[in-house]
């Protein structure tokens, strides 16, 4: 990131850094905080007053914010690309392995596959109807979408040169920014870089939000990227990165890359992708992704 004014704060369980040429006025900071609060109060699995927490107790008809339509529509596409491995109902599967609202990290025996979305949910624009209690988890796309919403809020306030960094997921507008991809095995080493003017770079790694199953079940590494069809942590990919016109799409692609090849994801979502496999190999998409302002990967791995 270039030298700028930086506003740092914690929200939705991650560290945020917003880069602007000059310090943001208090009114604009308050507007950003309101956007984040609205999103968290809708989609958080970790606060009892959220809409998602109420969904876990009762079936019903739920009117969501307008941006939920784009979120659920992209989930449908990513689910198709991954043959159902990505599914927003994976929340119960995560809770079964100890990553629930109380974050005990104490896994129950076995795994819990997620129900198929179409079997228990009906979507009509921003409206979601559930036929039974569900544990919705939008973690595959949500942080990226929230970064986009924060960026849009600041652009609406007149800030044309902004970079929003939500725990490493970056959405930016204005001046060109050269962003690096870190080696998941060595954070001091950069494997690749991409230059963005208006766009986003997101990443996901099985080395973050990871814990271990112990006790009578033996030792087993667990992490937050689950195959919804089985409820088991995915194996084979250590980290995935994607650049796209917006952070929600880039975020979605990073999850899809744990289940589909770089070129498959690139073609389906219009993104540029980069993957680090468990054996240390890397792969990235050929230039078939999004066009406006797109840059090729610079790869040193």
What span, in angstroms and rounded, lies between the C-alpha atoms of 150 and 146? 6
Judge whether residue 218 has pLDDT over 60: no
Q: Which of 64, 161, 39 is nearest to 121 (CA)?
A: 64
**pLDDT digits 0-9 by tens, 9-61:** 999 999 999 999 999 999 999 999 999 999 999 999 999 999 999 999 999 99
Residues 37-68, buried b or exposed e (16+ Cβ, 10 A)?
A: eebbebbbbeeeebbbbebbeeeeebebeebb
**pLDDT digits 0-9 by tens, 127-184:** 999 999 999 999 999 999 999 999 999 999 999 999 999 999 999 999 888 898 888 8
- DSSP E strand stretches across the chain: 5-11, 14-20, 60-63, 121-124, 127-130, 162-166, 169-173, 177-183, 186-196, 199-205, 210-213, 220-223, 226-227, 232-233, 237-244, 272-277, 282-284, 298-299
pTM over 0.85: yes
Least confident of 69-73, 120-124, 270-274: 270-274
What is the per-residue pLDDT for 287?
A: 56
What span, in angstroms and rounded, lies between the C-alpha atoms of 289 and 273? 9
Residues 167-178, buried b or exposed e (16+ Cβ, 10 A)?
A: bbbbbbbbeebe
DSSP state of 234: P
Contact 163, 175 (CB under 8 A): no
What is the per-residue pLDDT for 108?
A: 85
Contact 75, 141 (CB under 8 A): yes
Report residue 138 as tokens: 């939008």
The total number of residues shown for the chain amounts to: 301
């Amino acid at each position: 990131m270039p030298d700028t004014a930086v506003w740092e704060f914690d929200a939705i369980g991650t560290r945020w850094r917003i880069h602007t040429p000059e310090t943001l006025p208090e009114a604009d900071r308050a507007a950003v905080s309101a956007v984040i609060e609205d999103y968290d109060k809708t989609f958080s699995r970790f606060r009892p007053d959220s809409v998602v927490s109420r969904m876990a107790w009762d079936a019903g008809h739920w009117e969501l914010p307008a941006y939920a339509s784009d979120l659920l529509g992209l989930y449908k596409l990513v689910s198709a690309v991954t043959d159902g491995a990505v599914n927003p109902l994976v929340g119960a599967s995560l809770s079964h392995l100890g990553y629930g609202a109380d974050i005990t990290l104490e896994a129950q025996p076995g795994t819990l596959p997620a129900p198929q979305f179409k079997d228990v949910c009906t979507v009509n624009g921003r409206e979601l109807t559930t036929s039974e209690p569900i544990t919705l988890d939008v973690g595959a796309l949500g942080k990226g979408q929230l970064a986009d919403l924060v960026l849009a809020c600041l652009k609406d306030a007149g800030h044309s040169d902004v970079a929003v960094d939500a725990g490493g997921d970056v959405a930016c507008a204005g001046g060109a920014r050269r962003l690096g991809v870190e080696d998941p095995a060595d954070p001091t080493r950069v494997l690749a870089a991409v230059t963005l003017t208006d766009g986003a770079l997101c990443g996901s790694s099985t080395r973050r939000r990871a814990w271990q199953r112990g006790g009578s079940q033996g030792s087993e590494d667990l992490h937050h990227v689950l195959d919804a069809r089985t409820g088991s942590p995915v194996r084979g990919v250590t980290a995935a990165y994607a650049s796209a016109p917006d952070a929600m799409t880039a975020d979605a692609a990073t999850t899809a890359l744990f289940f589909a090849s770089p070129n498959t994801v690139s073609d389906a979502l219009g993104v540029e992708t980069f993957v680090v496999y468990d054996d240390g190999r890397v792969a990235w998409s050929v230039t078939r992704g999004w066009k406006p302002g797109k840059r090729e990967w610079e790869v040193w791995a």
